[in-house]
Structure 1
Amino acid sequence: MNSQLLQKYNVPGPRYTSYPTVPYWDKTPVTDERWKNLVNDTFEVSNATQGISLYIHLPFCERLCTYCGCNTRITVNHKVEHPYIDALLKEWQLYTDFLPTRPQLREIHLGGGTPTFFSPENLKRLINGLLEKADVHPDSEFGFEAHPANTTDEHLAALYEVGFRRISIGVQDFNPIVLELINRPQTYEQVQHLTEKAREIGYNSVNYDLVYGLPQQQISTVAKTINEVIQLRPDRIALYSYAHVPWVKPGQRKFTEMDLPDAAKKLAIYDNCREALETAGYTDIGMDHFSLPTDGLYEAVQQKRLHRNFMGYTTTQTNLLIGLGVSAISDCWWGYAQNEKTVEKYYERLKSNELPLFRGHVLTREDLILRRHIQRLMCNFETSWYDSKEQCKELYDALTRLEEPEKDELVIIEPYHLTVTEKGRNFIRNISMAFDARLWNDIPQTAIFSQVF
């Protein structure tokens, strides 16, 4: 790839798991009544066909991975498992109490934290408790995030038994020096065993999460990691750029900027990884994600049914995503809501029989138009606006901002249609940013987004 283009477009930018992005949500929290009405409106028109998605945040970890930017609670006390699952089931009951019919679960994703902090028995209790108040959609997809150092064969078997077929393994890197710095003791052998055992049991999609830009990463050592990953042949790979924000996540102070690869080296690491994966038969299906042609993610791209939400790319298109647990975010297409960020506050709200909402945003007409365009670009690499319902002033402002990317042959702009070129697919975050009216109307004065690469 052209290194000059990588440098030119390597600016801070959102990942667009939502539009507007969280920093630009309304300052006034969405009320319980308003949120319930929005959820009901979406549920009534989509549950019978699409079903709904559930994201469940399990925040507990036994040790702090120092690179991590997630909302976590570090503890070795596993007595926290039972009360937290009770709270999740209580929150789910608060939703099912006001929904007009039984929900159809199209997608469940267990994230964290470390979902496999919880015992296999407790994870089964959680899922069975959710299913007591719901039906399973015939095209359901259940997946979970797995730490290779603590995910046991019993975890795999228990979750498979209750319907899980996708697993996402947090690999990050295989280099022991890097793993020590990020406080993540795990081995190649553990990842290999987890991968092979999952496939033996019957899981049909294995994803690896990798991170580039970590402390002490070198071009040569990351190349070795990528080659080892390719040998294990995961179905999907998420290749994330490390975001160094020690003022937000103090755990990152274990190392400094001096330990990190500089901008030029980081770009070279990314470019080498991308080239190696594509040579090995992986397709770049969108921002940060690669897939083998045999995986459902690739098929969704070909059939133009890829979807993007707070869980990232997904093959299931649901307009209603309910987030359960501390800091979890819900999306009903017309609005967003995020739960309380601390376990104590989350429990307190549930004890009062309240939805534990912390903040939210109801989308305006312009928000909805721009969201549709960004969603199409992220998933299909094109968008159009033939219908007046797809047009607004902010859309035409976006086209003006794309004049430079058009000169660089990243996009093709035609009357009422925009196409991202093959060359431009690696710059999809930059192209989507052109449509982010809220970002351009209030450019942040401090770093709130990571670099694009």
Structure 2
Amino acid sequence: MLGMNNLLINKYNVAGPRYTSYPTVPYWDVDTFSLKQWKWSLKQAFDESNDTEGISIYIHLPFCESLCTFCGCHKRITKRHEVETPYIAAVLKEWKLYCDLLEAKPIIKELHLGGGTPTFFSSENLEYLIKGIFRLANKASDCEMSFEGHPNNTTKDHLNTLYNLGFRRVSFGVQDYNETVQKTIHRVQPYENVKHVTELSREIGFTSVSHDLIFGLPFQNENHVQKTIEKTKILNPDRIAFYSYAHVPWIKGNGQRGFKDADLPTPESKRAQYELGKKALLEAGYLEIGMDHFALPTDGLYQAMIQNTLHRNFMGYTASKTKVMIGLGASSISDCWYGFSQNVKGIESYYSLVNEGVIPVQKGHILSNEDLIIRKHILNLMCHFKTDWKSSEMCFKALPNVLKRLEELEKDELIKIDENSIKMTSKGKPFVRNVCMAFDLLLQRKQPEKQLFSMTV
């Protein structure tokens, strides 16, 4: 007979969002959205919050020299590095368009370089980009600057240059150390490469080094995860993202068609990989942060959790919250709390709009009052594993229906509900996405006709 964990897996392993936003992108009201609305809502949020909390900047650098078949990001595969200069020029033009709109000088509290592969770009070009951003903005005294580095091409020049510009956190994509798994996902990087860049980062002065690990990859098994965690513990990164592989080939096309569905672990095996990895990380002194994240007690992400400032947005979990996050570059998503927007995904289309003096937004969503309330509940659950409706501003008409949908999860001891609050149990934390789905009114009102999301387990 199946054990209780497997029974729960079979029961709750359904397609569902990862809730880096609410509403989730497939449920954005793109028909009524306009660039004019986006500008107005962004300006409102900026005027309310810039002086008190500053803003966040995310810059999408989409180029990679080779395709990783597990990747769900928007990217352009090329070995032609002459693409760097025109892309940076376009990003700085887009930033100028936003600064002209906002009028007051932005105060940047958080800046992150993502991709793609940010370290595809030369250190000189990255320096030119960052200096160009701050030429039109002020840096907050507690500004956190971070970037994603590829262990195979992050150089000492990259690390020195970005450190001197103010970067103190770097995240390296590791995924798994097993050679068969690495070859299948087209991401071959020896342990020695990861060890080198991790130690070099610390020598230079980076105060937070993060490793990204993934479970549920093709041909991956529990032994692979165990050995990857053992090697990770030797390097002792300050922060670890231990992600579930999101298999969505119907969205990402050729990138995730490099292997067969039959090559993937079963849901039971995938869950076992996570439980094994989690246990090993907790025994090594890491503490669980939100969903899929672990940090040492000295890391800023843990400090944010205990200080109740942990936040989640399109960059994942962050140690501080700003009302405004501006995404620059092709496909980037922006968030001004009252609305979301996403840039055009095609690089040529992006260039064309920016060169015409148009903020290159393709689609977006302006949140209703109901959206804003649900967004707060889902953020509370994703960041703190609890939420409440003690205040009138957290109440909404459909709450009784939400609580009814949660009855089965309460029977399975995954949550505890009292008169005006809900809290995830330790047993229930792996199913936090399922709890959020009960609050997701847009998902409940219109179930997708085809699968849009990865499986929750």
Partner AA of 1:350 in structure 2: V
- With the length of structure 1 as denominator, give the TM-score of the two structures: 0.98
> 1:161 aligned to 2:164?
yes
What per-residue deviation string (whole Å, max 9, x for no partner) do you get for residues 186-225 of structure 1?
1101101111111111111111111111111121122111
2:51 maps to which residue? Answer: 48
Verify the 8 A CA contact 2:45 2:324 in the aligned structure 1: yes
Q: Percent identity?
A: 55
Matching of residues 45-444 of structure 1 within 5 Å: 45-248=48-251, 249-444=253-448
Verify the 8 A CA contact 1:214 1:242 in the aligned structure 2: yes
What per-residue deviation string (whole Å, max 9, x for no partner) do you get for residues 417-447 of structure 1?
2222222222211111110000111111222
How far did 1:174 drift? Answer: 0.6
Secondary structure class of the residue paired with 2:108: strand
Residues in 2 aligned to 1:321 and 1:215: alpha-carbon distance in whole angstroms: 34
Verify the 8 A CA contact 1:366 1:394 in the aligned structure 2: no
Verify the 8 A CA contact 2:55 2:108 in the aligned structure 1: yes
Residues in 2 aligned to 1:353 and 1:86: alpha-carbon distance in whole angstroms: 13
How far did 1:365 drift? Answer: 0.9
2:10 to 7, 10, 15: 7
Residues in 1 aligned to 2:34 and 2:434: alpha-carbon distance in whole angstroms: 34
Detail structure 1 runs of 4+ shifted over 6 Å in the superposition. none
How far did 1:29 drift? Answer: 6.1
Residues in 2 aligned to 1:84 and 1:30: alpha-carbon distance in whole angstroms: 27
Secondary structure class of the residue paired with 1:19: coil
246-255 or 215-224, which moves further after superposition? 246-255
389-398 or 315-324, which moves further after superposition? 389-398
Secondary structure class of the residue paired with 2:168: strand
Residues in 1 aligned to 2:85 and 2:432: alpha-carbon distance in whole angstroms: 42
Partner AA of 2:24 in structure 1: T
Verify the 8 A CA contact 1:29 1:360 in the aligned structure 2: no
Residues in 1 aligned to 2:265 and 2:205: alpha-carbon distance in whole angstroms: 39
What per-residue deviation string (whole Å, max 9, x for no partner) do you get for residues 132-178 of structure 1?
00000111101001110011011011111111011010000111111
Verify the 8 A CA contact 1:370 1:395 in the aligned structure 2: no
Give the aligned length. 453
How far did 1:31 drift? Answer: 2.2
Secondary structure class of the residue paired with 2:99: helix
Identify unmatched segments of 5+ residues in structure 2.
none
Verify the 8 A CA contact 2:214 2:243 in the aligned structure 1: yes
How far did 1:32 drift? Answer: 2.4
Secondary structure class of the residue paired with 1:49: helix
Partner AA of 1:101 in structure 2: A
Residues in 2 aligned to 1:251 and 1:35: alpha-carbon distance in whole angstroms: 32
Partner AA of 1:240 in structure 2: Y
CA RMSD of aligned residues (A): 1.2
